[in-house]
Structure formats: C-alpha cells, structure tokens
Structure 1
Amino acid sequence: MLILSPSALIALSNILFLIVLVVLLALARYLTPPKLFRCLGSTKKLFEGKI
C-alpha cells in the first residue's frame, strides 16, 4: 500500500482536479453549440461583476 504525506495528497488531488477541469473545458469547447457559449459568457460576466 502506498502511503503519502498529507501535503503530497493535497498536491495530487489538486493536479487531478486541474486535469479534470482541463478535460471538461476542452469537451465543453468542442461539444457545445455557439448559443450556449453566449449564455455561458453572459453568466461569466455577471459573476465577474459581483466579485
């Protein structure tokens, strides 16, 4: 059994999260129609305005 330190586990989970995020973004970019992109873009602008 592989035993990792807590910091190594956090780093590993962050890397896995980033990989999943990149894959999801790539899939979204290739699979979504332009109308959905406009909707996502306007939603993003709303959130950016609130931050």
Structure 2
Amino acid sequence: VSGEYSMIKAAAANGMLDEEKAMMESLLCIRRAGADVILTYFALEAARYLCGEKR
C-alpha cells in the first residue's frame, strides 16, 4: 500500500497523471473489491477531496 501511494505521488509530481483522480480510483478499487474500511496514507487528502476542499 505504501508503494502504491509512493507511485501515485511520484507520477503526479512528474506530470504523468492527475493525483486526485488516481487517488480516488485507487480507493474506489479497494472499495469495489469489498473492503468496508480503508486505511491509507491518502486518508486526509481523500477526506478533503470528498468534502470539496481545494488544495
């Protein structure tokens, strides 16, 4: 999981992808796989995104 977080952060820093979209897709995949709870390094960023806060 920390590897996926690092990969998304590095790719976003190099302009390869949209960090928010990749983060949410990653979390949605975990949810679709059946998780009831997701523990992630993205927790604060995801909460801000879901509440509509801008960076």
Alignment TM-score, normalising by the size of structure 2: 0.33
Structure with greater helix share of residues: 1
Larger of the two Rg values belongs to structure: 1
Q: TM-score, normalised by structure 1?
A: 0.35
Indicate the structure whose relative CO is greater, using CA pairs within 8 Å and at least 6 residues apart.
2
